Structure 1
C-alpha cells in the first residue's frame, strides 16, 4: 500500500460515513471488552453490514450485473428514425439554467449519435419534481443542452405530456412513434436502468435498440481506500438495489 493510498484511506475515514463506521466498531469493541457478548456481536454485525452496503466494489459489482445484459452499440448501420432519451440526465445551476446532471451521459450519448449521422431525430421527455424549482420539464432542459452542443432545433422533439416515471415515458414515446410512423428507434438511458426500461417497452409492444450510457459497473484494481464505506458507495448500492427492486415488482 502506497502512502497515497494510505492518505486517501485516512481521508475517507474522516468523512461522515467513515467516521460513523469507526464509531460503530468502537462501540462493538467496548461491548466485547465488557463481556457483553450478545450486544457486542450484534453491533459488530451492524458494522459489517454497514461496510457492505457502503462499499464501492459491492456497488459496482451489483451494477455490473445489470449492465452486462446491455450490448454495446455496433458501429455503422442505418440511422435511427428517432433516438429516445429517458429523462433524468439534466439538472439546474444556481441561476436555473439546464446543466448535465449525474446521469447526464445519456444526453451526451444521444448528441454524439446525431453528430455521427446515426440519428435523424432526438427525442426527450420527462417531468421532475423540485422543492425549489417546482415542476420541471426535463425534456426542455435536455433540448437546451442539445442546442448548446450543436444539435439543430429541427432535429429535436420534446414530449409535451407529463411523464413522472419510466412507464409514463415509454407510453408517451410509443404514442409518438405511432404518430410519426417511426420504424427504427433507439432508447438511451443509464446502462443499469435499461434492462428495466426494455422490459417495460416490451410489455408495451415497443421495439427499440438499447444504447447504454453512464456505465458504472466497470472493474477497478483493488485499492484499500475503496474498502472504506463512503457516501458514493452507498449511492451505488442503492442505485443497483432500486433497479433490482423495480424489476421484481415489474415497474
Structure 2
C-alpha cells in the first residue's frame, strides 16, 4: 500500500495533476462561486505556463544535474553499481528489451567496466507491475543488455528485488557486505544522483558519483549564444519542458520525504 500511495499521491501535486484538480474545483464552483472558479482556472493556467517554460524547466533541472560534473576523470573502485529504471520488458510487439530514456545508465555502467574502472558490475532493480502478468526483474534485463555490450556474466551481480532508491541501496549493501565491498562507482541519471548518492552513503558505502543521462548540456562551442528564434520558442509552453520540470520536482519531493524518513 505504501508503494501504491507513494506513486499516486504525488501525482496530485505535480503541475499537470494539480492543474486538473483546480479545473475540477472550478467546475464545481462555477455557478455558486464564479470568482473562486475564475481564480482556480487562472491559477491552473499560470501553473501550466510556468512549469512548461523552457527557462524554468532548464533551471530546475540544472540545479540537480550540475552538482556532479566530473564524469571523465573517475577513479577506480571495487564495484560499479547501476540503478534500474531504464529498461522496458520484452513484451510483444517488442522484439527485444527496449531502452527507456534513462537507458544511458546501463550503457555507462558497461562502458566503465570495459574501461577497467572496477572488476564487478552490480545491477540493481526489481520491476513494479500493476498487472497480474509476471516478467523478469529489471536487473536481469540490464544484465542481458550488459552482456550484449561485452560484459561477461561472471563479472555481473544482480539485485532483483528493490522497488525504490532506498531499497536499491539497502539491498545492494546486503549483497556486497559479505564481499567486503564499500568503495563503489554509483551510476544513475544526473537528475537522480543527489538523492541516490546520499542514500548510498547513509548505507555506509564510499560512493563515488558517476552520473549519466544529462538533459542540460550547453554547446561548448557557443556558450550563452541563442538566436532570437530560439529565445522566442523557449517562451512557448512545451510538453517536454513540463515533463522534465515534473521529473525534477519529483526528485526534490523525494529528497524531502526520504529525509523525513531518515533515509538520507
- Shorter-chain-normalised TM-score: which range? 0.7 to 0.9
Q: Which has the higher contact order (CA 8 A, sep 6+)?
A: 1
**Aligned twin of 1:225:** 233
* Displacement of 1:97: 2.7
**Aligned twin of 2:53:** 55
Q: Could you say which structure has the larger radius of gyration?
A: 1
1:83 maps onto 2:80 in alignment = yes
Alpha carbons of structure 1 residues 43 and 66: separation in structure 2 relative to 1, 3 Å: same
State the Cα deviation string for residues 198-237 of structure 1 (Å, max 9, x = none).
1112222222101101111334744433332222211101
1:138 maps onto 2:138 in alignment = yes
**Aligned twin of 1:28:** none
> Which of 131-140 and 234-243 deviates more?
131-140
Q: Given that residues 129 and 136 in structure 1 are in contact (C-alpha distance below 8 angstroms), is that contact kept between their aligned partners in structure 2?
A: no
* Displacement of 1:75: 2.4
Q: Given that residues 89 and 136 in structure 2 are in contact (C-alpha distance below 8 angstroms), is that contact kept between their aligned partners in structure 1?
A: no
Alpha carbons of structure 1 residues 41 and 130: separation in structure 2 relative to 1, 3 Å: closer
**Aligned twin of 2:162:** 163
Q: Distance in 2 between matches of 1:109 and 1:70?
A: 15
1:243 maps onto 2:251 in alignment = yes
Alpha carbons of structure 1 residues 224 and 171: separation in structure 2 relative to 1, 3 Å: same
Partner of 1:208, secondary structure, is strand
Partner of 2:210, secondary structure, is strand
* Displacement of 1:152: 1.3
Q: Which has the higher strand share?
A: 1
Alpha carbons of structure 1 residues 172 and 229: separation in structure 2 relative to 1, 3 Å: same
State the Cα deviation string for residues 153-206 of structure 1 (Å, max 9, x = none).
11111124x111111110111112211122431110011111111111222222
Q: Distance in 1 between matches of 2:144 and 2:249?
A: 32
* Displacement of 1:96: 6.5
Partner of 1:104, secondary structure, is helix
Structure 1: 5+ residue runs without aligned partners?
A: 1-16, 18-23, 25-35
Number of matched pairs: 217
TM-score normalised by L of structure 1? 0.76
Alpha carbons of structure 1 residues 138 and 39: separation in structure 2 relative to 1, 3 Å: closer
Q: Given that residues 127 and 164 in structure 1 are in contact (C-alpha distance below 8 angstroms), is that contact kept between their aligned partners in structure 2?
A: yes
Q: Given that residues 73 and 211 in structure 1 are in contact (C-alpha distance below 8 angstroms), is that contact kept between their aligned partners in structure 2?
A: yes
**Aligned twin of 1:13:** none
Q: Distance in 2 between matches of 1:42 and 1:172?
A: 44
Q: Given that residues 80 and 185 in structure 2 are in contact (C-alpha distance below 8 angstroms), is that contact kept between their aligned partners in structure 1?
A: yes
TM-score normalised by L of structure 2? 0.73
Alpha carbons of structure 1 residues 83 and 224: separation in structure 2 relative to 1, 3 Å: same
Structure 2: 5+ residue runs without aligned partners?
A: 1-15, 17-22, 24-33, 220-225
Partner of 2:188, secondary structure, is strand
